[in-house]
Structures are given as C-alpha cells and as structure tokens.
Amino acid sequence: MEEEKLIKKINELKKEKGAVILTHSYQRAEIYKVADFIGDSYELARKASQTEADLIVFCGVDFMAESAKILNPEKRVLIPTPKARCPMAAMISDGQLKELKEQHKDAAVVSYVNTRCSTKALSDICCTSSNAVEVVKSLPHKKIIFTPDRNLADYVRKSCNKKIIPWNGYCYVHDTFDASVLKSLKEKHPDAKTIVHPECRPEVVDLADYVCSTSQMLDVAREDDARQFLIGTEIGMIERLKIEVPDKEFISANEAPNICLQMKQNTLELTLKSLEEEKYEIKIDEDTLRKAKNALEGMLGLK
Ligand code: 13P
Ligand code: SF4
C-alpha cells in the first residue's frame, strides 16, 4: 500500500478505536505523520501518564511501551512489533542487580528508563537522559547504584557530588561515536555547535557544547544562534531536527549516521496491523508492575 493510503487508514482506525500513537524521535520519519505526540523518553512517559485514550500504540522500543503500561495498568498498550527491543535494557539481569544491592546496602538504586520492568521493580527511582542529574541530586543517599548505562552514569558522576556505582551497560548506537572523528569534524566545521546525547562516551561528551536528551536537542537547535550543528545521537533525531528546524544545518557527529536497528523495526504497515489486530499487547505481572510503578512515579513526581 502506498504511504498516503497507509496514513489515511491508520488515522481513520485510530479515531474509530479512540487510540493514541506515541512516537519516539528515533522512529522513521513517515511514522511521525501518524503520531499524536513525538518526544523523548521523559515526555513520552509523562504523556502516557496523562492520556485519556483507552488504547495506546507505542512506536518506540519495548521499555517505552512497558513504561506506558506501568503508568496505565488499566489501559491496553500495543507495540507494532516485538522485535523493537532495546539491547541496552537487556544488559543487566535481576540476579546481577540483586547482587550489587547486596554489596552496597547503603546505596539507592537509580535505573534509567531504558531497562526491563523487573529492573525498575528492583530500583528506588527511575530517570531519563533529561533528568538523570536532577533525580540523583534529589535523593538523600551519598551512594548511588546507577543502571544500566555506564556513560550516562559517568555524566551524572561529574555533575553531582556523590559516589556513583555504575553498571557496565552501554547503548551500541551512542557508544560508537568517536572523539577523534568528532575532533576532525569540528575542525572542518569551525562555526558549528556540537550537541551530544549523554549515552555517548565521556571523551565525546567532553567535546560537546551541549549534552542533551533528544527533545532538549530540539530546544537548543531553535534557541542557539549557530546555523550549523554536529549531532551526536541516532539518525532519526537528525531527520527530526531537519524537519522541525529547516533553516539550520544538522550533520552527524560521526563518519556515517548511527542507526538504532531496533527503533527502525516499526513501520507504517506494522502500525496499521497493530491497530487492526490489536497486537502486540504489553503484559506485565501485577507484582512487578506495582513495584516498577513506584520507581517510575517517583521520577515523574507523581508519588
Ligand atoms: P531520550 O529520548 O530520553 O533522549 O533517549 C534516547 C534513547 O536512547 C532512547 O532509546
Ligand atoms: Fe536502546 Fe540505544 Fe536503541 Fe535507545 S538508541 S533503543 S538505548 S539501543
């Protein structure tokens, strides 16, 4: 089916079923056209906690759809394909986190939303890239176990006066930005400002003018006077910046664009099928959901 027809069918069905489509910035640009809301992980979690729709289709990855379900246990949350699974979220097991908690009994556990629901259930509070420093600072604890991203943990460590015990996970999309490549790109584009995601390595973060979540990148691109930007995040965000800020130039801060293959598993065809057949529904057991809700609501200030 051609794109226009697919979009029309999705929009009709969405209306008929009273559904909303929440979409992360790393999705394919054509999915933006059927989205009710496009945002970063924090904004999407907040939107999910506020929506009145009974059916939520989440065009993103597993942990985002799970967060929407955790915040709306009585609603149905669908993800267009079960293949959209974040590899970083799978880098820490419950056993590993329990062992770490045992070793550091006086530490609070802060888990990035990019985790499985069982990891959230074992955590005191969640955070996203846009509020990680704020969340860690808000806790009375001097010692923090931070899971699963070692790079975000390092960024947090440098921004607050606490002992951070990082888990050694990483995002393969961001961890491959290279400081020497970025240095030569900065020499080639001396007037460009550099914006990177805190999932990038510390030596890449050190070269940036701004360290931001995906939506914060949009604000910087609009507000900063620079005409050209080097962007250290997934290609989808560069596409979104080009659409939303068309008078400025956005260049990948790497030799080739970095692609999250899991985010790109969602397509318009699968989104339509998801609405038609009402699959794949997110299911979480009651006990895990209740504990994970506590950690997520702590981050959203809902507790
Ligand atoms: P944000 O949208 O919070 O910036 O996160 C980026 C990311 O890696 C999501 O998978
Ligand atoms: Fe996971 Fe990285 Fe893809 Fe985000 S960009 S979904 S953290 S692999």
pLDDT tens digits for 245-283?
Answer: 999 999 999 999 999 999 999 999 999 999 999 999 999
- C-beta 86 within 6 A of ligand 2: yes
Query: Which is the closest atom of ligand 1 to the Cα of 130?
Result: 3
Residues 6+ apart with CB under 8 A from 131: 42, 299
What CA–CA distance (Å, rounded) separates 148 from 38? 25
Tell me the pLDDT tens digit for each residue of 110-160. 999 999 999 999 999 999 999 999 999 999 999 999 999 999 999 999 999
Task: Answer whether 122's CB lies under 8 Å from 94's CB.
Answer: yes
pLDDT (0 to 100) of residue 1: 79
- Ligand 1 atom closest to Cα of 263? 10
pLDDT band at 303 (very low <50, low <70, confident <90, very high): low
Buried b (16+ CB within 10 A) or exposed e, 157-188: beeeebebbbbebbbebbbebbeebbeebbee
CB distance 114 to ligand 2 below 6 Å: yes
Q: What is the mean pLDDT of the chain?
A: 97
Q: Is the pLDDT of residue 4 over 70?
A: yes
CA of 16 to the centre of ligand 1 (A): 31
Q: Which architecture characterizes domain 3-86+263-284 according to CATH?
A: 3-Layer(aba) Sandwich (3.40)
Can you read off the two tokens belonging to residue 292? Answer: 């994970």
Whole-number Å distance, alpha carbon 194 to ligand 2 midpoint, is 20
Is the Cβ atom of 64 under 6 angstroms away from ligand 2? no
CB 115 within 8 A of CB 132: no
Is the C-beta atom of 62 inside 6 A of ligand 2? Answer: no
Spatial separation of the C-alpha atoms in residues 148 and 41, rounded to whole Å? 15
Provide CB contacts within 8 A for 135, sequence distance 6+.
110, 125, 126, 127, 299
Superfamily name with CATH number, domain 177-252 = NadA-like (3.40.50.10800)
- Which ligand 2 atom lies nearest to the CA of residue 261? 3
Is residue 57 within 8 Å of residue 274, measured between CB atoms? yes
Instruction: Determine if ligand 2 sits within 6 Å of the CB of residue 88.
Output: yes
**What is the third-level CATH fold of 89-171+292-300?**
Rossmann fold (3.40.50)
For the chain, how far is it from start to end, CA to CA, in angstroms?
A: 46
How much is the pTM? 0.96
Percent of the chain with pLDDT strictly greater than 70 = 99
Whose CA is closest to atom 9 on ligand 1? 41
The model's pLDDT over 180-219, given as tens digits with 9 standing for 90+, comes to 999 999 999 999 999 999 999 999 999 999 999 999 999 9
Q: How far is the C-alpha of 190 from the C-alpha of 209, rounded, in Å?
A: 13
Question: pLDDT tens digits for 74-108?
Answer: 999 999 999 999 999 999 999 999 999 999 999 99
In the chain, where the domains are located: 3-86+263-284, 89-171+292-300, 177-252
List, chain by chain if needed, residues with CB within 6 Å of any ligand 1 atom: 40-42, 86, 114, 128-130, 171, 197, 199, 213-214
For 82, the token pair is: 């079960």
Q: Is 262 in the pocket of ligand 2 (CB under 6 A)?
A: yes
Number of Cβ atoms within 10 Å of the Cβ of 73: 12
Helices and strands per DSSP (H, E), number in the chain? 14, 12
User: 89-171+292-300 and 177-252 share one CATH topology?
Assistant: yes
The atom number, within ligand 2, closest to the CA of 88 reads 1
